[in-house]
Structure formats: C-alpha cells, structure tokens
Amino acid sequence: AVTVRWIASPILSGTARPEGYEVACLNAVAGVSYVLQASGTFDISSAWQSVATNAPGVDGPIQFIDHDASNYSSRFYRVVMP
C-alpha cells in the first residue's frame, strides 16, 4: 500500500527581534523537515543560503531565527522542504 500525504505550501510571517530576524512558518506539518533560506535579492535564480533547519514534533507554527539579518540592507526568505 502507498500512503500519500498532502503538505500545504508554507505560510511565512516575520518579525524583527533583538537577537535577529524571526521567521515563523505558520502551517508546519509534524515530521517534515523545513529549511529556511535567505537571499539579498528576490530572484529565484539568485544564490539562496540555508539559514536554519527545523522539523516540528507536532503540526502548527515553528520559528526560525536569522542571526545574521542585521548584516544585510535587505533580506528575502523562503522555506523549502528537501
């Protein structure tokens, strides 16, 4: 038997914090690895850097912190699921 599990596209929200920029993935699925990536331009072909990886234990929101965000004049984020 094959089990197919549908996973919705991540919904992101961000907040500036003293320790870095916090990015929340609002609809994470338990057991799925999420990788937060950042880039200085909003171009899909640009060099995206992996900032953090998180795999939630339960469904719901998860947070990532980009501690290097203050080193950039602008920063764009995306979440990928490897």
Terminal CA-to-CA distance of the chain, rounded, Å?
A: 24
d(CA 74, CA 4): 38
Residue 62: name the closest of 16, 19, 28 by CA.
28
d(CA 21, CA 66): 5
Q: pLDDT, tens digit, for every residue of 34-65?
A: 898 999 888 777 788 999 888 888 888 888 88
Q: pLDDT, tens digit, for every residue of 7-32?
A: 777 788 888 888 888 888 778 888 88
Residues with Cβ within 8 Å of 22's Cβ and at least 6 positions away in sequence, in order, are: 14, 15, 16, 63, 64, 65, 66
